[in-house]
Chain A
Amino acid sequence: MYDIEEYAAAASLADALNRLAARPELKIIAGGSDALLKIRDGKWAGCALLSIHGLPELQGVAMDEKGDIEIRPLTTFGQAAEDTLICRHLPLLAQGAASAGGPQLRRMGTIGGNICNGAPSADTAPALLCLNAVLDLRSAGKSRLLPLNEFYLGPGKTALEAGELLCGVRIAKEDYQGYHGCYYKYSQRRAMDIANISCALWLKSIDNAVADIRLAMGVAAPTPIRLPQTERALQGLPLEQGQKRIANLVRQEIQPRDSWRASREFRLQIAGEIAARCFAAACDKIQGGKADVSNR
Chain B
Amino acid sequence: MGEIGRSIPRVDAKDKVCGTAKYTEDLCPAYALTAKIYHAAIANGWVERIDIDDALAVPGVEAVFTCMDVPQLPFATAGHPWSTDPGHRDVADRLLLNRRVRCYGDDIAVVVATDEVAADRGLRAIRVEYREEPVAVTPEQAMEMAAQGGEPLHEAYADNILGRSQYQEGEWPADTEELTAAKGSYVCQAVQHCHLESAVSFAWQEGEKITVVSSTQIPHIVRRVVGQALGLPWSRIRVIKPYIGGGFGNKQDVLTEPLNAWLAQKLPGRTVKLCLSREEVFSATRIRHPITIDIETLADQQGNLVARSYNAVSCQGAYASHGHGIAANGMTAFRDMYRQSQALRQQALTVYCNVPAAGAMRGYGIPQETFATEANMDDLALALAMDPLELRRKNMMLPGFKDPVTGITCHSSGLEECLRKGEALIDWQAKRQAYAKQSGPLRRGVGMALFCYKTGVYPLSLETSSARMVLNQDGSAQLHLGATEIGQGGDTVFAQMAAEACGMRTEDIRVVSFQDTDVAPYDSGAYASRQTYVTGMAIQKTARLFGERLTGYAAGLCGMAPENLRVQGQHVVKQEDGQPVISLEELAQEAFYSLENSVHISAQTTNHCRSNTFAFGCSFVEIQVDMPLGQIRVLQAINLHDSGKLINPALAEAQVHGGMSMALGYGLSERMIFHPQSGKLLNGNLLDYKLATALDTPDLQAVFVETQDPTGPFGNKALGEPPALSLAPALRNALLHATGVKINSLPLEPQRLTAAFREAGLLEGGEDHV
| Contact surface of A with B, Cβ cutoff 8 Å | 1-3, 42, 45-46, 102, 186, 188-194, 244-245, 247-248, 251-252, 260-263, 265-266, 268-270, 272-274, 295-296
Contacts and interface: CB of A to CB of B under 8 A. Distances in A.
8 contacts: A189-B693, A189-B696, A192-B686, A194-B687, A248-B766, A248-B770, A270-B629, A270-B750
Majority secondary structure of chain A interface residues (helix, strand, loop or mixed): loop
B121 A244 contact: no
Contacts of B683: 260-261
A248 B768 contact: yes
Given A245-B768, A265-B755, A295-B631, A1 B116 contact: yes
A145 B695 CA distance: 40
B120 A188 contact: no
A188 B690 contact: yes
Majority secondary structure of chain B interface residues (helix, strand, loop or mixed): loop
Given A188-B669, A189-B690, A273-B629, A247 B695 contact: no
Contacts of B768: 244-245, 247-248
B168 to A, nearest CB: 41
Given A189-B692, A248-B769, 19 more contacts: A3-B120, A46-B121, A186-B629, A189-B690, A189-B696, A190-B695, A193-B690, A194-B687, A248-B766, A252-B770, A260-B673, A260-B675, A260-B682, A269-B763, A270-B754, A272-B770, A295-B629, A295-B631, A296-B695
Contacts of B750: 188, 266, 270
Contact of B121 (A45, A188, A252): A45
A186 B749 CA distance: 13
Contact of A2 (B117, B121, B692, B754): B117
Contacts, number: 82
B693 A191 contact: yes
B751 A190 contact: no
Interface residues of B, number: 35
Contact of A192 (B124, B629, B673, B693): B693
Nearest to A268: B770
A269 B687 contact: no
B163 interface: no
Nearest to B676: A260
B628 interface: yes
A219 to B, nearest CB: 14
Contact of B754 (A1, A244, A247, A266): A266
B755 A266 contact: yes
Nearest to B631: A295
B120 A42 contact: yes
A3 B117 contact: yes
A219 B600 CA distance: 71
Contacts of A45: 120-121, 124
A191 B695 contact: yes
A248 B758 CA distance: 16
A261 B683 CA distance: 9
B688 interface: yes
Given A1-B116, A42-B124, A252-B770, A189 B669 contact: yes
Interface string B4-18: 000000000000000
Interface in B724-770: 749-751, 754-755, 758, 763, 766, 768-770
Contacts of B695: 189-191, 296
A-B pairs with lowest CB-CB distance, top 4:
A190-B695, A248-B768, A1-B116, A266-B751
A245 B362 CA distance: 49
Nearest to A296: B695
Contacts of B769: 247-248, 272
B115 interface: yes
B731 to A, nearest CB: 16
Most chain A CB inside 10 Å of its own CB: which residue of B683, B758, B768: B768
A269 B120 CA distance: 42
Contacts of B124: 42, 45
B628 A273 contact: yes
Given A42-B120, A295-B631, A262 B751 contact: yes
